[in-house]
Amino acid sequence: MGRINISEHHKQILAEILKSVLLILLVLDAIIFFRVYFFQTVSVKGDSMNPSIREKDVLLINKAESPDEYKRYDVIVFKPYSEDDSATPDEDESEILYIKRIIGLPGETVSVLEDGSIQISDVSGKVSVLSDDIYGSSSMDRGINWKLDDDNIFETVTLADDEFFVLGDNRKVSLDSRSVKVQAVHKSSVLGRFSRRVFPFKR
């Protein structure tokens, strides 16, 4: 019977290859763990967040924070999905998400007035118009831009303890909580909060 003699040199080479393979596997596991529990990149499709966020922007989404920590005017990525006004994860182009800005917080009552301004009644009953809403890049004047689709469009809604009211910054075209296709966003459907733009670098 023939014998195969493996020299010490060859053993060392095999050991190094095995170490390298194990290191690669550990790095891949770390990347998967990081993506699932902490951060994820998404690429933007559509112009519903213009000019703050534009089509083909690549964004970093913070998944580690609890939705309970979110504040008014934070930008969030959430499910369910539509063909319009969406962001798609770079790793899985088949999953479509929405990206919008939080306007109404849990427990608040949100109304859009005739002139397109937003009125908030907070949980204490205090009513105020959002004078610091500087993000909307277009009017929500009901007489001109209000009819986004053929479904019923929101006028006033009281949010549950686990819901956000969201709007796109480009409010003439954004499909958001004003529409029955989106409505209020449940905390459980939020993927994460926009952290920073990855690409393009200089905007």
3-state secondary structure string, 10-52?
Answer: HHHHHHHHHHHHHHHHHHHHHHHHHHHHCEEEEEEECCCCCCC
The answer to whether residue 27 is domain-embedded is no
Report the run of H or E that residue 8 belongs to, with start and end.
Answer: helix 8-37
Task: Give me the domain span that covers residue 47.
Answer: 40-199
Alpha-helical (H) ranges within 42-174 are 142-145
Domain holding 94: CATH number? 2.10.109.10
The answer to whether residue 173 is domain-embedded is yes
The answer to whether residue 89 is domain-embedded is yes
The answer to whether residue 64 is domain-embedded is yes
Structural domains of the chain, count: 1
The answer to whether residue 26 is domain-embedded is no
What's the rounded Cα separation, in Å, for the pair 77 and 59?
Answer: 10
Mean pLDDT of 26-44: 74
% of the chain at pLDDT higher than 70: 73
- In the structure encoding, which two tokens stand for residue 157, read together? 């809604």
The answer to whether residue 96 is domain-embedded is yes
The winner for highest mean pLDDT among 1-5, 75-79, 143-147 is 75-79
What's the rounded Cα separation, in Å, for the pair 75 and 53?
Answer: 10
pLDDT digits (tens, 9 = 90+) for 128-165: 888 777 777 566 655 434 444 444 456 788 999 999 99
Length of the chain measured in residues:
203
In terms of Cβ atoms closer than 10 Å to its own Cβ (0-12, 13-18, 19+), residue 156 is exposed
pLDDT score at 98: 92
pLDDT score at 160: 94
The answer to whether residue 18 is domain-embedded is no
The answer to whether residue 118 is domain-embedded is yes
pLDDT score at 109: 94
